Structure 1
Amino acid sequence: MAIRLLRGVLNGLKWALCAVGGVALILAAMIATPLQRPPEMRSVSDSSKGIDWSTLPPLERFQARDGTWLGFRHYAPNGPASGRGAIFIHGSSGSSGTVNHALTHAMSARGVETWALDIRGHGGSGTRGDIGYVGQLEDDLVDFVAEVRKTAPDLPLTLVGHSAGAGFSLRVAATPIMQDMFVRTVLLAPYLGYDAPTNRPNSGGWASADIPRFLGLAALRKLGIDCCAQLPVLALAVRPNMEKILVSTYSDRLMRNYATRGYRLDLAAVTHPMTIFGGAEDEMMISDKYAETVQAIKPSVDVKLLDGINHMGIVTTPKAVDAIAEDVATRGAGQS
């Protein structure tokens, strides 16, 4: 009887080990799936044409809490100061020195003291395409605001973000520690998250995710195994041979941090004024769904669509740049 019982236990253990081994093999195969890079998206590549780079401020640096030096550009107010300030967060792949310069310069020309930050993993900040942990980007922004406050202790600050940077800005606006740092948030063509009805498939061809690898890493985290988060899971349709300027891939942890925690969760937690600008011709987002999607959760959010403007045009074309810069200059002191 005892021998039969022992055989049953050993047999069950054998099948359990087989099942564990099978799951491990499946997860390993998922994680090993290669990331496919999408072809160049010309509407993004061509957006730099016609921008006046002669007014681009030099790259400066400050030291984050972990000792890493992060880059930023400071735009002093040009002309009469508006009594307002802004921190600009660039979109995916970009930096403080890419096409958003047209907008940040226009904001400073209207008297808004403006700082454009190289988000860690981009430009002159940290390791290209990667961060140390999810939540590090919020820590960096807290440190950057503290740096700004050394020279502008009382200036009302508006947080302005574009595309993925707008998604991250929404995440920030929903964080209690951040809500006292900014009087207002302005989201430009925001990527609200993978489950938002405002997304086009693969962001219109801009992004290609390694879904098997992403799901494999998520499954490991569910099992309490937080490894391999430095592996790339997202490829971006940047121009070939532009890796020294633009980021072509995101690690798992950077992709998860440089986004909302979920647009429903984050919008519900926002307590200060927020405005969304979308381009009616956006090839990455379905802009005419912003109002119904966002206002169903937070009716107070102001949503504005600009005719004839695509995704990158919202930070480069004179029509959009003028409208947004004027908005930040006149509504950035806490007004709704």
Structure 2
Amino acid sequence: MAMQLLRGALSVVKWGLCTVGAVALLLTALIATPLQRPNELRSVSDSAKGIDWSTLPPLERFQARDGTWLGFRHYAAKGTDRGAIFIHGSSGSSGTVNHALTHAIAARGVETWALDIRGHGGSGTRGDIGYVGQLEDDLVDFVAHVRKSAPDLPLTLLGHSAGAGFSLRVAATPIMQDMFVRTVLIAPYLGYDAPTNRPNSGGWANPDIPRFLGLAALRKLGIDCCSQLPVLAFAVPPNSERLLTATYSDRLMRNFATRGYRLDLPAVTHPMTIFGGTEDEMMISDKYADTVQALKPSIDVKIIDGVNHMGMVTNPKAVSAIAEDVATRGVAGS
């Protein structure tokens, strides 16, 4: 009997050591896997040409619940009866090319705030966050900050690209839905498995698949470590780190996105509009309507002819259409 117990104990120890060894090998492999940055995507870099930067508001800051100071820009408007909060796309910030759109929205009488999402611009550690869910906490804190000066303005939430994916995540979250009367998604990245994506976002993003899968496997084993490791690189210009975020950690990548478009779209309760461009080199815009309306028929989808991905926030045709939409809808059920 004693020998059987001893053999059983040794078997448990053996398999335990094997498990520890396998986890150690997995950790070593995922840490050693290099992340390759793709070559500069000129359609993104060139989008900054012709923008009037003289109207860019100064960077301001507010303090999030963890004590970190986060950046934002405030576009004041006179005599307004509505407001908007804008979420930039991957790698960007409140001071990048989306300024053309946010300025146009404010010029139409909408009090507008553009936020530097944590991990970007003037907010926190570049390319990383503390935990998945922190971006939602930050947005709740930011809305509370906005409400100090604008307690009653109905707010529209806008997001571009990855910021639109995050805005969809927000719109599907019960605790945050009532903060906004409406959500506008501009050229949204709906998730890795969405039929609206081009491979590697048309050359814009390069994921480290082995590292991503390794971290996912560890989480399934109940080991949530190493999520600060970079898993996604962007095709930003060389030496642009002062303005742009070149890589995302695993936890930033997972948080600055939808939870899955099939999960989030049915959970949306307030009005939502999606804008896309026919020449989008990162997304397949003509698939937006079928993809989202199969899950949420009430979502408006508007496609603008002749506009590419970054043109959705810089091209005068798209900027005018989106700014006019935000300025004329979102109040009293419109």
User: Does TM, normalized by the shorter one, top 0.5?
Assistant: yes
Q: How does 1:120-135 map to 2 (within 5 A)?
A: 120-135=118-133
Which residue identity is paired with 2:55? T
Residue 44 of structure 1 corresponds to which residue in structure 2? 44
Using the alignment, how far apart are the partners of 2:4 and 2:89 within structure 1? Answer: 65
Residue by residue over 1:24-50, the C-alpha shift from the partner in whole angstroms, topping out at 9 and shown as x without a partner, is 313421332111111100000000000
Residue 206 of structure 2 corresponds to which residue in structure 1? 208
Over 3 Å counting, the alpha-carbon distance change for 1:169 and 1:334 in structure 2 is: farther
Over 3 Å counting, the alpha-carbon distance change for 1:325 and 1:27 in structure 2 is: same
Which residue identity is paired with 1:272? H
Using the alignment, how far apart are the partners of 1:152 and 1:191 within structure 2? Answer: 30
Residue 26 of structure 1 corresponds to which residue in structure 2? 26
Which residue identity is paired with 2:45? S
- Please give the secondary structure, in 2, of the residue aligned with 1:159: strand
Using the alignment, how far apart are the partners of 2:19 and 2:65 within structure 1? Answer: 44
- Please give the secondary structure, in 1, of the residue aligned with 2:148: coil
Residue by residue over 1:301-328, the C-alpha shift from the partner in whole angstroms, topping out at 9 and shown as x without a partner, is 0000000000000000000000000000
The alpha-carbon deviation at position 77 of structure 1 amounts to: 1.1
Q: How does 1:153-168 map to 2 (within 5 A)?
A: 153-168=151-166
Answering whether residue 75 of structure 2 is matched by residue 70 of structure 1, we say no
Using the alignment, how far apart are the partners of 2:292 and 2:333 within structure 1? Answer: 20
Answering whether residue 284 of structure 2 is matched by residue 286 of structure 1, we say yes
Residue 220 of structure 2 corresponds to which residue in structure 1? 222
TM-score scaled by length of structure 1: 0.95
Residue by residue over 1:256-287, the C-alpha shift from the partner in whole angstroms, topping out at 9 and shown as x without a partner, is 00000011111111000000000110000011
Residue 60 of structure 1 corresponds to which residue in structure 2? 60
RMSD, aligned CA: 1.6
Residue 298 of structure 1 corresponds to which residue in structure 2? 296
**Runs of at least 5 residues in structure 1 that lack an aligned partner in the other structure:** none
The alpha-carbon deviation at position 11 of structure 1 amounts to: 5.9
The alpha-carbon deviation at position 218 of structure 1 amounts to: 1.2
- Please give the secondary structure, in 2, of the residue aligned with 1:149: helix
Residue by residue over 1:140-177, the C-alpha shift from the partner in whole angstroms, topping out at 9 and shown as x without a partner, is 00010011111111001000000000000000000111
Residue by residue over 1:200-240, the C-alpha shift from the partner in whole angstroms, topping out at 9 and shown as x without a partner, is 11000000111111111111111221111111010011000
Alpha carbons 1:189, 1:277 under 8 Å: kept = yes
- Please give the secondary structure, in 2, of the residue aligned with 1:242: coil
Residue 104 of structure 1 corresponds to which residue in structure 2? 102
Using the alignment, how far apart are the partners of 2:58 and 2:210 within structure 1? Answer: 41
The alpha-carbon deviation at position 83 of structure 1 amounts to: 1.1
Which residue identity is paired with 2:65? R
Residue 95 of structure 1 corresponds to which residue in structure 2? 93
- Please give the secondary structure, in 1, of the residue aligned with 2:149: coil
Using the alignment, how far apart are the partners of 2:137 and 2:289 within structure 1? Answer: 30
Using the alignment, how far apart are the partners of 2:107 and 2:294 within structure 1? Answer: 36
Using the alignment, how far apart are the partners of 2:59 and 2:95 within structure 1? Answer: 8
Aligned-residue sequence identity (percent) comes to 85
- Please give the secondary structure, in 2, of the residue aligned with 1:25: helix
Using the alignment, how far apart are the partners of 1:277 and 1:8 within structure 2? Answer: 63
Residue 245 of structure 1 corresponds to which residue in structure 2? 243
- Please give the secondary structure, in 2, of the residue aligned with 1:199: coil
Using the alignment, how far apart are the partners of 1:8 and 1:263 within structure 2? Answer: 47
Residue 189 of structure 1 corresponds to which residue in structure 2? 187
The alpha-carbon deviation at position 5 of structure 1 amounts to: 7.6
Which residue identity is paired with 1:37? R
